[in-house]
Chains A and B, each alone.
Chain A
Amino acid sequence: MKLVTYLSSSEQLEKLDPGLTSDVVIAPKSISRFGELSWDEALELAKESRARGFSAVLEWDVLQTQQDFSNTTRFLSQKDLSLFTAIRVQGPGALNWVKENLPEHVIQLVLETGNHNLVGLKRWRELAGPKLERLVLSLELSKDKLARYIEALDVPIELLGLGRILLFYTPRKLLSAQFIDHDDPETIRYHEKPKLEVAGSSEESPHRGFPIVENQHGTFMFNTKDHGLLENLSELQEMGLAFLRVDLRFADFMLWTLIEEFVRTRDLEYLQKIKTSYPAKTIKGYYNSNRTTRLFPKLKNARIQKRDQSFAAEVIDALKESHLGLMAKNPKRAVRRGDLLKLLAPDGREKSLRLTVLRNSVGEEVEQASEGELFFIPWVSGMNVKSMVFWASES
């Protein structure tokens, strides 16, 4: 397993051990979400990286609508990209364009957003074609799935090992709108900086201090804790993970030396030092398990959920000691006199009854009510509006 990192200066490059790191990701600010390099700086770094034996990977991960996308492709068409070994893309538009227009480059495809099933991942691999060199997978995959995918995909896999977790990405500029005072030249000057970063907290969320960044590509919000899998290094290596990315763009690159030492020696003292020096607490996220649908059943009152075949009607009117007004709801079966019904109130109370009389809205007795029709039955204590009515089993 090799390390991958972002590079923003020659000084950083000097710290890298080619024995541990294979690729350096170079992020020009014009096409990378958090890139801070001018195009010339990016080319220079690519040149230096290659000279030192690293693969220089050009990152193109901004999402763009047609007009901006077209400007980007026009720009890239005019540039000499031969210093870059691979192009790292996120977004199907960039993938398709690189495939068709840069056939000499291999592709690293970032599938970190969604893409949580093997069928889909295999299809992405096919769509990317023979130039696909690597897939970057989602942080939301558990280790069991990750191991299975690594085995099944037959293409090298990369995963984030340490770095911020991106929660939200919009092209709209949301921060400067909050802070710019157009009457104050000092404030305007401050906000003309290429990047604005604040911490956001909400009383409606138990988490405090979400890092939020605004730059030329929009606004990005990160999790309060970063992703950290360094202590699972051996496990990841055993499952066949090819590349582990360490993203220090929002930390001090001095940490790199400690990270290499830890990777080299697996000495836990280095890991402890990394944890102490790293600017944020880290979590393993969904690495052990992903149970993000566990709470879904609680989002609805189970007592008023419909059931396919036995769901007969819903109480829409209840007048104490007088009547219940119901609307028949089952398109397949009418509610008929003589039916045995079970009524279920939102508070959980249940009543059963044999339907001896149904009336319409003018008080006439009717034999049945079909889907969409109203009918009225004598009042049933404990039942109220939103109570659900089911056919009960005769046995």
Chain B
Amino acid sequence: MTHWVPELLAPAGSLEKLKVAVLYGANAVYLGGQKFGLRTAADNFTLPELEEGVSFAHQHGSLVYVVLNSFLHDEDLEDLPGFLQELERLKVDAVIVSDLGVIETIKEHSNLEIHLSTQASCLNIEAAKLWKKTGVTRIVLGREVSIYEAAAIKKASGLEVEMFIHGSMCMAYSGNCVISNYTQGRDSNRGGCAHSCRFEYSLEGEGVNKVQNTFMSSKDLLGIRVVKEFIEAGIDSLKVEGRMKSHHYAGTVSKIYSEALKFYSQYGTKPKDQSERALFQERESSWEKELEKLSHRDYTQASLVEKAGADSIYDERDQLVKDYVISGLVLESKESEHILVQVRSAFRPGERLELVPFEGESIRFELDDFYDLNGTKVEKSKPGQLVKLPWFKEAKPWNFIRRAP
């Protein structure tokens, strides 16, 4: 018997990352086109890429949602109908929207399913009921909402509910921050966020000692320990932040959270006996360890269980860079000949690496001699270089290889 589990929704910052996320287990991906989203500096998808992405995802049983979550001005809306028709033609599964004008335009020009973006900061039942009247079918709740509250919102509104489970977080109520607009001349709600909340500030005032701190910077969300609670609350979709992040990130979060969901689908959320309890603990601990291997700010559960407190502030300017770095991405597997790897960080013959397959345990191996494209033996690879490693059957295109500690 299998138990119901939510959808895992992963970020796809590019066509390659879409493939990585889907192959590593995401049930759905979200992505942006060249306009109308909030990641102006990201790669984003051209229409041909979007077509290929939708086709690839659908072939693998995954859904594709397209973000149109900018707060658009009148002049931005002019180009939207044409894009909507393209999205409908490509059979994207939903669009993610935060602006009421965009919702109205979508309804007028297409039959696309509409999900309300977290940018709209939907926080309570009454808000959900109002948004329901606008025609949205799913709400991506504000990150301030707890799982318990989300269950109540779902029940009372009758809408599908999506919540963030992992990744970087805005400290402000989403859509309620215009620091970039006034300090950089860039509209944060049309894709120009300069991440001023991550800056270090000196704070001074009457009766307080001056301090210097990144007081507006939030730790990163980690929800792996409360996947069970999400399931029990009936949350429809678990979303991972990070369209600007690496292949390694897209693959790892997709793999780990999908493994967790498959596990709970098989066992349910409550261990039946002592041995299952031990198995649950062992698995949960191993998933958490895997997620620790990604570069990230310190983790927090933010407001998933109780309101985020002072311990959710990240007091460093930069992210932690982990020793567990990605060494390369498999681009091609030529049976009995080689695997072709795009190097991401340098490695040498004799080093211990591990291949992260789409499912199951990582495969550790000691690297033999390897060669460049001309067949010359490589003493030390360089980032960006293509190298040929000895072939082994488990390696598939879009797997990543990382240095084993």
Interface residues of B in 275-297 (CB under 8 A from A): none
For B123, B133, B185, the residue with the greatest tally of chain A CB atoms inside 10 Å of its CB is: B123
Q: A292-B186, A292-B187, A325-B386 are in contact. Are A117 and B216 (CB under 8 A)?
A: no
Among the listed B129, B187, B218, B374, which residue makes an inter-chain contact with A319, where contact means beta carbons less than 8 Å apart? B374
Binds B, one of A36-44, A51-59, A162-170, A241-249: A162-170
Q: Across the interface, do B74 and A145 meet the contact criterion of CB distance under 8 Å?
A: yes
Among the listed B98, B134, B203, B205, which residue makes an inter-chain contact with A123, where contact means beta carbons less than 8 Å apart? B134
A43-77: contact bitstring with B at CB < 8 Å (1 yes, 0 no)? 00000000000000000000111110110010000
Instruction: For chain B, give the interface size range.
Output: 35 or more
- What residues on A are CB-neighbors of B48 within 8 Å? 308-309, 311, 330-332
- What residues on A are CB-neighbors of B388 within 8 Å? 361
A181 to chain B, nearest CB (A): 9
A359 to chain B, nearest CB (A): 9
- What residues on B are CB-neighbors of A114 within 8 Å? 71, 98-99, 175, 189
Interface residue B332 (Cβ < 8 Å from any Cβ of A): yes
Interface residue B340 (Cβ < 8 Å from any Cβ of A): yes
- What residues on A are CB-neighbors of B215 within 8 Å? 174-175, 177-178, 200
Interface residues of B in 1-49 (CB under 8 A from A): 15, 19, 40-41, 43, 46-49
A129 to chain B, nearest CB (A): 11
What is the bound-complex CA distance between A73 and B129, given in angstroms? 15
Among the listed B126, B134, B308, which residue makes an inter-chain contact with A93, where contact means beta carbons less than 8 Å apart? B126
Q: A119-B104, A292-B190, A308-B47 are in contact. Are A178 and B185 (CB under 8 A)?
A: no
Interface residues of B in 168-189 (CB under 8 A from A): 171-173, 175-179, 181-187, 189
CB-CB nearest in chain A for B127: A93
Among the listed B46, B145, B179, which residue makes an inter-chain contact with A65, where contact means beta carbons less than 8 Å apart? B145
Q: Across the interface, do B186 and A296 meet the contact criterion of CB distance under 8 Å?
A: yes
What is the bound-complex CA distance between A52 and B213, given in angstroms? 48
Q: Across the interface, do B125 and A296 meet the contact criterion of CB distance under 8 Å?
A: no
- What residues on A are CB-neighbors of B340 within 8 Å? 361, 374
Instruction: For chain A, give the interface size range.
Output: 35 or more
Interface residue A352 (Cβ < 8 Å from any Cβ of B): no
Among the listed A202, A219, A361, which residue makes an inter-chain contact with B200, where contact means beta carbons less than 8 Å apart? A202
Q: Across the interface, do B182 and A223 meet the contact criterion of CB distance under 8 Å?
A: yes
Q: Across the interface, do B386 and A316 meet the contact criterion of CB distance under 8 Å?
A: yes
Q: A117-B77, A165-B182, A198-B208 are in contact. Are A69 and B99 (CB under 8 A)?
A: no
Q: Across the interface, do A331 and B52 meet the contact criterion of CB distance under 8 Å?
A: yes
Q: Across the interface, do A120 and B171 meet the contact criterion of CB distance under 8 Å?
A: no
Binds A, one of B191-199, B225-233, B258-266: B191-199
Q: Across the interface, do B176 and A169 meet the contact criterion of CB distance under 8 Å?
A: yes
- What residues on A are CB-neighbors of B326 within 8 Å? none
Interface residues of B in 51-65 (CB under 8 A from A): 51-52, 55
Binds A, one of B245-253, B309-317, B353-361: B309-317
Q: Across the interface, do B74 and A117 meet the contact criterion of CB distance under 8 Å?
A: yes
CB-CB nearest in chain A for B73: A116
B348 to chain A, nearest CB (A): 19
Q: Which 6 A-B pairs have the closest CB atoms?
A: A120-B101, A198-B205, A177-B310, A331-B52, A93-B127, A292-B187
Binding site for B on A (CB under 8 A): 63-67, 69-70, 73, 91-97, 113-121, 123-124, 127, 140, 145, 165-179, 190, 196-207, 210, 212, 219, 221, 223, 285, 290-296, 299-300, 306-309, 311, 316-317, 319, 322-323, 325, 327, 329-332, 361-362, 371-372, 374, 376, 385
